[in-house]
């Protein structure tokens, strides 16, 4: 049995249900719409270690080239050949003359693969090239 309370003069109630619903909808929207910065970083690539390595900040104008242990090249999650990468670098330089390229080679890969990518960057006039390493414990 429901008991009715007598109305009290001066009592004003605010219904919080619509506000809480809106907050939850906004929270879900921003969780779904967020693009993570590490999308270019291939987790299968383990960079070599260095004592003086610094954390890398992903800038919008960086192109990240991942090199797998067997020498395959990946840009934005898609496998590329050297000639396709050369064309891609050329297009990137036309769009952004200050293009930066980050080379992430696996520690088990041959150094020549990274050198090939750096040679393509020099051929296209890209001055901002970076070779990624990870920090080791002292």
* Structural domain count, the chain: 1
Does residue 119 sit in helix, strand or coil? helix
* 8's tokens: 């009290």
Task: For residue 16, tell me if it sits in a domain.
Answer: no
Q: pLDDT tens digit string along 77-98? A: 888 899 999 999 998 888 888 8
Does residue 69 sit in helix, strand or coil? coil
Chain mean pLDDT for the chain: 79
Contact predicate 92/99, CB 8 Å: yes
Output Rg (C-alpha) for the chain, integer angstroms.
26
Q: pLDDT tens digit string along 34-51? A: 766 555 555 566 666 666
Mean pLDDT of the 110-121 span: 89
Q: What is the CATH number of the domain that holds 72?
A: 3.30.420.270
What integer pLDDT is reported at residue 16 of this predicted model? 87
Task: For residue 61, tell me if it sits in a domain.
Answer: yes
Does residue 135 sit in helix, strand or coil? strand
Task: For residue 3, tell me if it sits in a domain.
Answer: no
Can you give the pTM of this predicted structure?
0.57
- CA nearest neighbour of 138 among 53, 47, 45, 43: 53
Domain that holds residue 62: 37-135
């Amino acid at each position: 049995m429901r008991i009715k309370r007598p109305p009290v003069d001066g009592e004003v109630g605010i219904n919080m249900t619509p506000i809480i619903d809106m907050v939850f909808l906004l929270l879900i929207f921003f969780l779904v719409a967020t693009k993570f910065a590490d999308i270019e970083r291939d987790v299968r690539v383990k960079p070599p270690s260095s004592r003086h390595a610094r954390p890398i900040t992903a800038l919008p104008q960086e192109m990240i080239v991942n090199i797998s242990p067997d020498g395959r090249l990946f840009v934005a999650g898609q496998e590329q050949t050297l000639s396709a990468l050369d064309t891609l670098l050329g297009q990137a330089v036309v769009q952004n003359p200050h293009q930066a390229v980050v080379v992430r080679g696996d520690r088990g890969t041959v150094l020549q693969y990274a050198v090939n990518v750096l040679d393509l960057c020099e051929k296209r006039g890209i001055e901002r090239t970076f070779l990624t390493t990870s920090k080791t414990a002292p």
